[in-house]
Structure 1
Amino acid sequence: MENSSSEETENNNNEDTVQHLTKMIESRIAKYDNGNLSSGESRTKIGKMTEEESFFYQAVTRLSKLTEFPSASSSSSGSSSVLQRAMAFLEEEFRIILEDSRHDDDVAASPAVKNGTVTNSNRDDGGGDSPPPEEESYQPYPPEVVTRMNRIAHVMLSAGYETECCQVYSICRRNDFSKQIKKLELEKINTEDIHKTSWDCLEEEIMKWVRVSKICSKILFPAERELGEAVFSGHPMISRSLFSNLARAVVIQLLDFADAVAQTKRAAEKLFKFLLMYETIRDLIPAISDGCSDDFEHEIKSEILAVGDRIGEASLNIFCDLENSIKNDMAARNPVPGGAVHPLTRYVINYLKYACDFKTTLEQIFHKHANPGETSDTAAKPTSLFSAQVQNIMDLLDANLEAKSKLYKDPSLRLVFLMNNGRYILQKIKGSPEIHQVMGDKSYRKRSTVVRQFHKNYQRETWSKVLQILTHEGLQHHGKVAIPALKERFKTFSNMMDEIHKSQSSWVVNDEQLQSELRVSISAVVIPAYRSFVARFKQHLDGNTKHPEKYIKYQPDDIETLIEGLFDGNTTSMSRIRKN
């Protein structure tokens, strides 16, 4: 009998509490609604949650607990109705806060973007991704607003209104995310449009895509994950599910664009944009893995990897097509004027230089997609398939240049051509630590030795004949100088210098150091020999010839001037030399 009385008393107390909470909640809702009607303003105030609001959330939570096992009293249906009204009220409150309380309307205005956390990287000009300064996180809502949302979510989840709570949160965050993407100027492009778009225009779209994808990876996704975890603290499964659904929609949009680009026609100029896309796609995986549910993570990771593989395979094929470009250029039958650096050399070595800026990425792609049998079969074991391919391309270029050198009839010009191209390659390797690392010190030293040999061969080919004229052999007969032979020697020397100057002053050596080395080495052997020859034999002409200047056309200083005029790419006038 005592137990029955105790239960009855407890039920009465609960009913009194329910009635009290019901009236208080109704009063609070009415107050909000009346305020709205009179002011025409939103009922939500952005700022710290007031004590009254906090008490209201507590009341709703308590009412939901008391009505979870309702008594048979008549107040049960009334409290349930009030609870439903309270949930509808909180759902609307939640929506308003989500829609109207954002910290920044535009993610581009956030410190994280402004301070360089995300940059529009483009290594086509030899640059790259530099480490960002101290990173600042992007917060879509002020902390006090997040606290308010957390309280609302807690109340709704406690009352069993998980579906309503998650639905309004998901819709609002998806809409906001879509606005951010649109403001970053990434529009949905039809796959057919991509195939019809010119490369210049598509290149711009790719760079927009890269920037947006990086903002998503480094800023928006982490911020979204942190927001969900804060709003739904204590409910990790819910926050992970909400993040998964939002991230999937965004990632699929990004992947659709990348997949369509990967299927466009291959072209050499596309390689570096493709590699940027490959790196960007690769960075999407860790950006979403931490916040996604296990099932979703496996699914979306598979899709990301599939598109990444297609971009990687396209990049590999484009890079390996460089071989065909070199082989096809073998057919060119027009030598470069003046033995200058061939356009093919500039193209190939700069292409490789930029490719080596992506060394780590290309090594990863080669390791994953290349058939080892398709790469270089060099005697030296390469450190990677990518390095092997670079060496193979360089071997093809060397063979191509050797064939092109044979287009020059003059053996000396042929050697200048090989010297110019060899030095250009060495300077590019020296100036790029990335390509130097790929090719290795041994290869660099070998090339340097080859270029020095070209130099020696040129000097022997051109100037050994000149030096033979300046020997004393054949000029003396029975202890006397043969004047006719001496005249012929001076005349032959002058004519030979005229011919060399006429042809080789039009030859091109743009590398100032190489040009200086050539002139110095020539002067070092020719001028002393000629000075000695003139000093030894000039007196014999002075005493036996009326006009010795007819035969001694140049003084030793004139020879130096002639040599200084070589390899300028222009025929120097001889008048200034003759007047001196």
Structure 2
Amino acid sequence: MENNDLAKNSGAHNAGDTMPPRDAKHDGAAAQAETSSQTPHGQAEEEQKKEETATSTPQSLEQVAQEIDQFVRSLKNVGNAQNFAIPDFSERYLDLVEEKIMKYDAGEGKPKWGEVSEEDSWLVNNANRFSKLMTLVIDNYPDHEPEKISGAQVSMMNRITSIHQRLMTYLEEDFRFLMEESRIPTELDPGGNNQNSIDTKRKQHMAASEQQELVHEQEGSEQDTNFPGYSEETIASLSKIAREMLFGGYESECCQVYIISRRNAFEEINQKLGLERISIDEMVTKVPWDTLARDMIPAWINTLKQYAAVYFPGERKLTEAVFAENHAVAAGLLGGLSRGVVIQLLNFAEGAAMTKRAGEKLFKLLDMYESLCEVIPIADRLFPEESVEEMETEMTVAKSRLGEASIYIFCELENQIKSETAKTAVPGGAVHPLTRYIMNYLNIAGDYKETLEQVFMEHWKRNRADSTSKPAEQKKEGGWDKETPSPFATQVLRVMDLLDSSLEGKARLYKEVALSNFFMMNNGRYILQKIKGSSEMSKVMGDNWIRKKSSELRNYHKNYQRETWNRVLQCLNHEGLSVNGKVHKPVLKERFKSFNTLFDEIHKTQTSWVVKDEQLQSELRVSISAVIIPAYRSFIGRFAQTFDPGRQTEKYIKYQAEDIETYIDELFDGKPHQSIGRRRT
């Protein structure tokens, strides 16, 4: 970096000199000898020059700086260091710079960057000049020939080194000041409700083109407004200082200040977003899962998404702007910084995957898995080229561990079903708690169908790659045989088969065949409604399974109705009541008595049976009424007149058809009613 063009340069060598500058005293003696050997007139001119020099005003820092610049340029152009020597006028330059430094040290110190623009320019320009002098000194004074260096030159070299170090210290302080004090507070979204974040569930149902369009919208709206967190003026100053520090050999100091400052910035972001620094061991052994699920995992997901959408692209933008003239340094800093941040995030993910496996953890782990799935494909836009592959690998490993933990937990549903060995039947044939748990679990799993399909398929492919023998139906080219259920669907079907078997065993706990069938119908209906209520789980189970389950329910319904209400219908059978066209009254009385007793008993019992599904409850009542009411109405219509009006009629015909319909509507609400007989007395 050049400070000024050649101007008034008293005593300096021209840029076109073919020999390097020599000692100033030597030059003066040679000139004097030359003029004295010529004419008296020449000698007089030389004497006049000496007098003018003795009485002239000392050169200013600006003037002597110009001579230093000319000296550096001339030596650089010559490219011959055999007769290299630092000129005497450099002493004046060193004196003036040291004087400036002493004023700083003796007073209130150097003004902070930006307070006095002239001071900023002075520091940068002279730091650059001393860096060039240092380069010349290092390049032109060979260590293996120290005897060629005079004591004065060694002293000069030491002074240059000392002043250069002091100037670089000032620059380092200014760089740190700008990095720490000029940072603009970044707006954060601790709740994870950033309007530009991609909702995973919504994204799963979007077309690929829509997803890509949404990503582009993110890039255009977020990165330009929220980051890099410094004004353009500050970034320009940081870049200027960084350039001089790197040029002067202070790359390590500059990079250390930068990376410490940015690490602190990311720590502040983590804290504001609610992400605590926590070790894997603490997550596994100390932190309650409720705390992880409620607070820490949502904060982790939000932090990862905001890093990917805003902060990593912004950090890349900042680093490349500050170190614009040195791509290698920028890439190294960005790679190291981003790796530290990413590893902290991934350690959290691995810790979550290593916690004790339990069913309630599945969906939080899948949320984390999905978040990594979003970030990995855009790694090349977040990290420098040199570290993209490493970052992708690290994130993929963490994603795989979350996936493996998710598979383990999901497959544990099998053991939960097998271990449910209750020996007591559920009262009233109600839906069993195990049925509710499994089906609600699968219903939520339906929201994660795409993710679970991916997790199970990746697991199957790894096992397939590691296996030497593979089932024939899985030996299709390119992976899974599309005509067979997917690995995830296969696992769900296995769970459903186990649940059916478990329910069949629990149904046998009931002594009444009707209640056993009622229990299977009740639970089967709950299962079917849950599957049909989830479009995703309906796809997993398939139309054939749904048709089969519906057919099973109809059979359970028929069996229940046969075991319960066919006995009632037998009481209303007309056969055997008439002999030679005359009603056999004792048999008729017995039929009415049997009907009344049986109906009262069924009502008393089945009002305590439980059907929470209002639609099923209504269907059952309607189907019972459709069978019983017409038969009862027909029976009364034909045989009621057989009894004498009054007490005899009331004794045997206790119910009208409307009463029967009312009592049927009281069935299956799980609330035992008072005996019909007692209510009527």
TM-score, with structure 1 as normaliser: 0.83
Report the residue type matching 1:247 in the other structure.
Answer: S
Cα gap change, 1:439 to 1:52, in 2 (>3 Å) = farther
- Is 1:243–1:292's contact at 8 Å kept on the other side of the alignment? yes
- Which stretch of structure 1 is more off in the superposition, 504-513 or 183-192? 183-192
Q: Deviations over 1:207-261 (max 9, x none)?
A: 4444444443333322222211222224332222111111222223333333344
2:422 aligned with 1:332? yes
2:663 aligned with 1:562? yes
2:560 aligned with 1:458? yes
- Which stretch of structure 1 is more off in the superposition, 59-68 or 415-424? 59-68
Alignment of 1:6-405 (within 5 A): 7-8=16-17, 17-19=66-68, 43-45=112-114, 84-104=165-185, 109=188, 115-117=194-196, 136-137=222-223, 138-139=226-227, 140-183=229-272, 184-189=274-279, 191=281, 194-203=284-293, 204-283=295-374, 285-286=376-377, 288-293=379-384, 296-329=387-420, 331-370=421-460, 371=463, 381-405=483-507
Q: Deviations over 1:518-567 (max 9, x none)?
A: 11111122111211211111111136x85211000101110011101100
Cα gap change, 1:83 to 1:31, in 2 (>3 Å) = closer
Report the residue type matching 1:17 in the other structure.
Answer: Q
Alpha-carbon shift at residue 337 of structure 1 (Å): 0.5
- Is 1:339–1:413's contact at 8 Å kept on the other side of the alignment? yes
Alpha-carbon shift at residue 511 of structure 1 (Å): 0.6
Residue 449 of structure 1 corresponds to 551
- Is 1:466–1:496's contact at 8 Å kept on the other side of the alignment? yes
- Could you say what secondary structure the match of 1:490 adopts? helix
1:322 and 1:540 mapped to 2: Cα distance? 63
- Which stretch of structure 1 is more off in the superposition, 402-411 or 352-361? 352-361
- Is 1:506–1:570's contact at 8 Å kept on the other side of the alignment? yes
- Is 2:432–2:523's contact at 8 Å kept on the other side of the alignment? yes
Alpha-carbon shift at residue 263 of structure 1 (Å): 3.1
Match among 615, 622, 634 for residue 513 of structure 1: 615
Q: How many residues were matched structurally?
A: 562
2:483 and 2:363 mapped to 1: Cα distance? 27
Alpha-carbon shift at residue 29 of structure 1 (Å): 11
Residue 439 of structure 1 corresponds to 541
Alignment of 1:485-500 (within 5 A): 485-500=587-602
1:55 and 1:450 mapped to 2: Cα distance? 91
Alpha-carbon shift at residue 480 of structure 1 (Å): 1.2
2:511 and 2:428 mapped to 1: Cα distance? 12
2:672 aligned with 1:571? yes
- Is 1:221–1:287's contact at 8 Å kept on the other side of the alignment? no
- Which stretch of structure 1 is more off in the superposition, 498-507 or 76-85? 76-85
Report the residue type matching 1:322 in the other structure.
Answer: L
Cα gap change, 1:429 to 1:31, in 2 (>3 Å) = farther
Q: Deviations over 1:104-147 (max 9, x none)?
A: 1xx56369966345699999xxxxxx999965343222333223
- Which stretch of structure 1 is more off in the superposition, 530-539 or 290-299? 290-299
Larger Rg: 2
1:87 and 1:554 mapped to 2: Cα distance? 107
- Which stretch of structure 1 is more off in the superposition, 530-539 or 288-297? 288-297
- Is 2:175–2:241's contact at 8 Å kept on the other side of the alignment? yes
Cα gap change, 1:192 to 1:175, in 2 (>3 Å) = closer
1:16 and 1:569 mapped to 2: Cα distance? 101
Segments of structure 2 that go 5 or more residues without pairing to the other structure are 1-12, 22-61, 71-89, 142-151, 203-210, 465-469, 475-480
2:111 and 2:269 mapped to 1: Cα distance? 24
Alpha-carbon shift at residue 84 of structure 1 (Å): 4.9
- Could you say what secondary structure the match of 1:542 adopts? coil
- Could you say what secondary structure the match of 2:331 adopts? helix
Report the residue type matching 1:136 in the other structure.
Answer: E
What is the root-mean-square deviation of aligned Cα atoms in Å? 4.3
Report the residue type matching 1:191 in the other structure.
Answer: D
Segments of structure 1 that go 5 or more residues without pairing to the other structure are 124-129
Alpha-carbon shift at residue 568 of structure 1 (Å): 0.9
- Is 1:120–1:211's contact at 8 Å kept on the other side of the alignment? no
- Is 2:353–2:405's contact at 8 Å kept on the other side of the alignment? yes
2:99 and 2:443 mapped to 1: Cα distance? 69
Residue 127 of structure 1 corresponds to none
- Is 2:283–2:355's contact at 8 Å kept on the other side of the alignment? no
- Is 2:376–2:395's contact at 8 Å kept on the other side of the alignment? yes
- Could you say what secondary structure the match of 2:509 adopts? coil
Alpha-carbon shift at residue 313 of structure 1 (Å): 1.8
Report the residue type matching 2:173 in the other structure.
Answer: E
- Could you say what secondary structure the match of 1:465 adopts? helix
2:432 and 2:524 mapped to 1: Cα distance? 11
Report the residue type matching 2:418 in the other structure.
Answer: K
Cα gap change, 1:252 to 1:487, in 2 (>3 Å) = same
- Is 1:313–1:369's contact at 8 Å kept on the other side of the alignment? yes
Alpha-carbon shift at residue 51 of structure 1 (Å): 8.9
Cα gap change, 1:186 to 1:288, in 2 (>3 Å) = farther
- Which stretch of structure 1 is more off in the superposition, 421-430 or 518-527? 421-430
Alpha-carbon shift at residue 181 of structure 1 (Å): 2.6
Match among 509, 514, 539 for residue 412 of structure 1: 514
Residue 550 of structure 1 corresponds to 651
Alpha-carbon shift at residue 424 of structure 1 (Å): 1.3
1:349 and 1:25 mapped to 2: Cα distance? 86
Percentage of matched positions with identical amino acids: 45
1:308 and 1:280 mapped to 2: Cα distance? 9
1:19 and 1:225 mapped to 2: Cα distance? 38
Cα gap change, 1:5 to 1:455, in 2 (>3 Å) = closer
1:181 and 1:316 mapped to 2: Cα distance? 30
Q: Deviations over 1:308-353 (max 9, x none)?
A: 3333222211211211111222x32111111111001111111112
Cα gap change, 1:7 to 1:380, in 2 (>3 Å) = closer
2:575 aligned with 1:473? yes
Alpha-carbon shift at residue 500 of structure 1 (Å): 0.9
Cα gap change, 1:29 to 1:90, in 2 (>3 Å) = farther
1:42 and 1:350 mapped to 2: Cα distance? 68
Cα gap change, 1:367 to 1:57, in 2 (>3 Å) = same
- Could you say what secondary structure the match of 1:7 adopts? coil
- Which stretch of structure 1 is more off in the superposition, 387-396 or 171-180? 171-180
1:25 and 1:477 mapped to 2: Cα distance? 143
2:459 and 2:554 mapped to 1: Cα distance? 39
- Which stretch of structure 1 is more off in the superposition, 151-160 or 10-19? 10-19
Cα gap change, 1:397 to 1:26, in 2 (>3 Å) = farther
